[in-house]
Amino acid sequence: MQKASSTKRLSKNAAQPPQVLGKRNAASSIPLNFKVPEEFRREFKTYAAQHSKKLNQLLFDAFAALKEKDAR
């Protein structure tokens, strides 16, 4: 029964309009894991620190900028 309930929740959430990226509650976040080259990781983390951003906020901002650019 528990599985059906969580599947139902996922389907229900998928139908809702997306929230503004970066404004989500930490409790509603799930991990996103992938590998990147070490130099990219270092540069990404350094950029985030220099601009007082969390890593996930930098990713949200970059993705939003890419979507905006592609929409033109």
CB 58 within 8 A of CB 16: no
Per the domain annotation, does 1 fall within a domain? no
Q: Round to whole Å and give the CA distance between 55 and 61.
A: 10
Q: Is the pLDDT of residue 1 over 60?
A: no
> What integer pLDDT is reported at residue 32 of this predicted model?
94
Q: Is residue 4 part of a domain?
A: no
Residue 62 lies in a domain: yes
Q: Given this model, what pLDDT does residue 8 score?
A: 45
Q: Give the residue with greater pLDDT, 62 vs 8.
A: 62
Does residue 63 sit within a domain?
yes
Residue 71: give the domain boundaries: 41-72
Our count of domains for the chain comes to: 1
Q: Which residue has the higher pLDDT, 6 or 55?
A: 55
More confident residue, 49 or 6: 49
The encoded tokens of residue 64 equal 């939003």
Cα distances (Å, whole numbers) of residue 14 to 5, 10, 38, 45? 14, 6, 34, 30
Query: Mind listing the pLDDT tens digit for each residue in 19-48?
Result: 555 565 667 899 999 999 999 999 999 999
Domain-located, residue 19 = no
